[in-house]
Structure 1
Amino acid sequence: MDQFDIIVIGGGSAGSAAAGRLAEDGSRTVCLVEAGGSNDRVRVKTPGLMPFIPKSSNYRYDTVPQIGLGGRIGYQPRGRGLGGSSAINAMVYIRGHAFDYDQWAALGATGWSYADVLPWFKRSEGNERGADEWHGGDGPLNVMDQRWPNVTSKRFVESATALQLPRTDDFNRADNEGFGLYQVTQKGGERWSAARAYVEPLRARANFDIRTGALVEKILIEHGRAVGVIIRRGRRRETLRARGGVVLSAGAFGSPQILMLSGIGPAAHLREQGIDVALDRAGVGDNLQDHIDYVSSWETRSADPFGDSLGGTWRMLKAIFEHRTRRSGIMTTCFAEAGGFWKSRPDLPAPDIQYHFVPAMLEDHGRTKVKGHGFSCHACVLRPESRGTVRLASPDAAAAPAIDPGFLTDDRDIATLRAGVRMMHRIVDAPPLSDYAGRDRYPVDLSDDAALDALIRSRADTVYHPVGTCRMGSDADAVVDPTLKLNGVEGLWVADASIMPRLVSGNTNAPSIMIGERAAAFVRAALAA
């Protein structure tokens, strides 16, 4: 039986940050437990090989059939291994809008306003532009401008500007409205995951134990306190003890799943699964929110965008050689190279639509090959009203949870998405992007609400930002309090996107890392008290 001061469950975006910060000063022993592997692979570290990331690095979850999507089953990729989803994502560095965090504080997440979280974003960030009022320059998470963006991505931004839409060179000030090229979490031409930022630099430390290939079966609760975890490595079970406590960072799907496997969750559901109830917490697994996203694509005669052709394949082979020898060139692409934030109504406090522009034709999350060259554009609803749940599908920790995002079950969401899709088409139809004369692969009468809604429901899916299933707040029903401590259990903190009371207006990787940073500070303070 191994003993540590702190055990961190999950080496994803938040877990890597929390574990690294807790271990860095050497004053306490920390064990990081991760179900996947190290992700130290060329296909993970090379940005342009993102479509070819191995299955072992991705849980590849499915949803239950979605009523709002015509009964379709949605796809939910989630990172597996050190770095978590920061090892498989599009590397876009976005924090969200100041409104998001001020709203959290107003909802009872005391100490999480924008003014409160900004210093923690800056602490985590090593922006190659340097430090300023909004940015950190020497944090572990390397953030940089794209150096070889596709010309098609630049034309997307110019087309938005032609429509008098605002242009920005920085989406990470308090207000993110505008269009431009995204900054990315890369360093030296390679993906810079949270694990590369926070975990790998400490791997040789005597006080830091990194255990990969370790599936957590349950958290041990004794006399109302978290005292360790039971893990499975291959066919062998091990018990790890924690003198100070446990930090759960398994993500919006994994954290509620592990809590329920440990007997913490909705009592009736746990009994249905044959699990003894340690603590009846109805909020565990509720409040699931995700960015519902519609993507369309246009085929071009021009070979400027990436594409599946003889010439396109030869260009990629040369690019792979260049990247392997110099870490430069188009294989540094994040694919979602450009985008923007737009208000569908002028009276809104913050943009409610985000665009991701991809200089390639995408189909079914990139899982289906499309012949030829072209480009795609995503439009997603930033603050959805639809809510869903995560539940156990089995008491086996190795089984996938039952994921029900409830996509487009609130009519306000499809009305917002409808407006976003219409603006997307206006941008594509404006010069210079219109100069490509792209063929719309999914034509529709944009003036016909019913036809557009039917197309949206037949094609929309996640843009990979699930949150909210272990909601933070000050009320009795909140799963965790504003210090991320689980209500009702001592020595147990939750630190990942699951604690967000509301979904942020943007990508969730940078906010998850910020949450991990803050969790480490809360745990250090609790242990020192």
Structure 2
Amino acid sequence: MATHVRYDVLVLGGGSAGCVLAARLSEDEGRTVCLVEAGPDYGPPDAWPTELLDPGGLPDSHQWDPGECPFTPLRAKVLGGCSTHNACLLVWDDELVELEPHRERALAMIAPEPFFYEQDEVTPWFAGAAEAARDRGLEPATGPRNIRDGMRWNAVFAYLQPARSRTNLTIRANAEAERLLLDGDRATGAVVDGETIEADVIVVSAGAIGSPRILLRSGIDAGSNLQDHVSAKLVFETTGALRTETPMP
């Protein structure tokens, strides 16, 4: 039999944004917050899999729907989301001056230490790409990296770990949000693995693919604005005749 629980705020999706939201919103002791994540929660940093802590790679051990896609999409089914397997680099638009104070606060959490590397550590492919960019007047990004003590410093470590002891914060891992519950044009809760969770405020933060999927399952049109993404890329399959001078790593 399905159970029913209620919170002030329900955050669907424990990726980078979801972790930050849950941690910040639960700073108010009078506000109950529930964070729902489809993937596992490994707890403190020393309990995490080695491949998710290594800042030198892009691990694919926690992919969504493995084997169902002809390529490996960069989506991580684990608490912390893409911050657990990204390139550890923050790309920032210099024109966002009004957000600079908030950026500085975030950097103190997610990239607390400077990171340096020698030029000879760069692979030939990336070195060639950087040189080609400079020839066209473009400088490679040198922004801060979320690396601390040689370890990938993800959103869980930066935001959720200090908040775990709060009695008003509940983290539901290995639980997938199926759909929203609607009362007219207002969301009143969500069905999570067959269980009804009600809340005054529901935050859909399941990523560029997960969020529209939840909305569509709920009978809500995703809307053209959700198709906009600053990191949109073109992907194509090459023929066997196409070769590059230096193989990509």
Q: One-letter code of the match for 1:94?
A: V
Q: Does 1:90 align with 2:87?
A: yes
What is the CA distance between 1:253 and its match in structure 2?
0.5
Q: Higher relative contact order at CA 8 Å, sep ≥6: structure 1 or structure 2?
A: 2
Q: Does 1:204 align with 2:165?
A: yes
Counterpart CA distance in 2 for 1:44 and 1:95 is 24
What is the CA distance between 1:222 and its match in structure 2?
1.1
Report the TM-score, using the length of structure 1 for normalisation: 0.39
Larger deviation, residues 255-264 vs 187-196: 187-196
Counterpart CA distance in 1 for 2:31 and 2:159 is 16
Counterpart CA distance in 2 for 1:143 and 1:211 is 28
Q: One-letter code of the match for 1:442?
A: T
Match of 1:145 in 2: 114
Counterpart CA distance in 2 for 1:96 and 1:181 is 12
Counterpart CA distance in 2 for 1:288 and 1:154 is 29
Instruction: Give the one of 58, 76, 83 matched to 2:63.
Output: 58
Instruction: Give the one of 232, 239, 245 matched to 2:196.
Output: 239
Unaligned runs of 5+ in 2: 43-47, 237-242
Match of 1:7 in 2: 10
What is the CA distance between 1:9 and its match in structure 2?
0.6
Change (3 A) 1:181 1:245: closer
3-state SS of paired residue (1:199): helix
Change (3 A) 1:151 1:257: same
Q: Does 1:121 align with 2:124?
A: no
Match of 1:222 in 2: 183
What is the CA distance between 1:58 and its match in structure 2?
1.9
Counterpart CA distance in 2 for 1:115 and 1:18 is 22
Percent identical across equivalent pairs?
A: 30
3-state SS of paired residue (1:219): strand
Match of 1:442 in 2: 244
Counterpart CA distance in 2 for 1:442 and 1:180 is 23
What is the CA distance between 1:178 and its match in structure 2?
2.0
- The size of the alignment, in residue pairs, is 231
Match of 2:239 in 1: none
- Alpha-carbon deviations, 1:37-59, whole Å to 9, x = none? 114322212223x35552xx222
What is the CA distance between 1:144 and its match in structure 2?
3.3
Q: Does 1:283 align with 2:224?
A: yes
Change (3 A) 1:191 1:287: closer
Q: Does 1:42 align with 2:50?
A: yes
Counterpart CA distance in 2 for 1:220 and 1:210 is 20
Match of 1:469 in 2: none
- Alpha-carbon deviations, 1:257-314, whole Å to 9, x = none? 100011101xxxxxxxxxxxxxxx6437544674437xxxxxxxxxxxxxxxxxxxxx
Match of 1:258 in 2: 214
Contact 2:92 2:143 in 1 (8 A): no
Q: One-letter code of the match for 1:228?
A: G
Contact 1:218 1:258 in 2 (8 A): yes
Counterpart CA distance in 1 for 2:59 and 2:50 is 10
Counterpart CA distance in 2 for 1:45 and 1:442 is 31
Change (3 A) 1:24 1:291: same
Change (3 A) 1:262 1:164: closer
Q: Does 1:21 align with 2:3?
A: no
What is the CA distance between 1:30 and its match in structure 2?
0.2
What is the CA distance between 1:83 and its match in structure 2?
0.8
Counterpart CA distance in 1 for 2:117 and 2:9 is 42
Q: One-letter code of the match for 2:73?
A: Q
Counterpart CA distance in 2 for 1:195 and 1:117 is 23
3-state SS of paired residue (2:224): coil
3-state SS of paired residue (1:90): coil
Unaligned runs of 5+ in 1: 65-72, 99-113, 127-139, 167-176, 266-280, 294-406, 409-440, 445-458, 461-529
Q: One-letter code of the match for 2:98?
A: D
Change (3 A) 1:248 1:121: same
- Alpha-carbon deviations, 1:64-94, whole Å to 9, x = none? 8xxxxxxxx5442201111100001111122
Q: Does 1:76 align with 2:61?
A: no
Counterpart CA distance in 2 for 1:212 and 1:89 is 20
What is the CA distance between 1:124 and its match in structure 2?
1.3
Higher strand share: 1
Match of 1:137 in 2: none
Counterpart CA distance in 1 for 2:111 and 2:86 is 15
Contact 1:60 1:76 in 2 (8 A): no
Counterpart CA distance in 1 for 2:67 and 2:60 is 18
Change (3 A) 1:219 1:92: same
3-state SS of paired residue (2:111): strand
Q: One-letter code of the match for 2:197?
A: L
- Alpha-carbon deviations, 1:236-262, whole Å to 9, x = none? x211110x2101100001001100011
Counterpart CA distance in 2 for 1:18 and 1:187 is 22
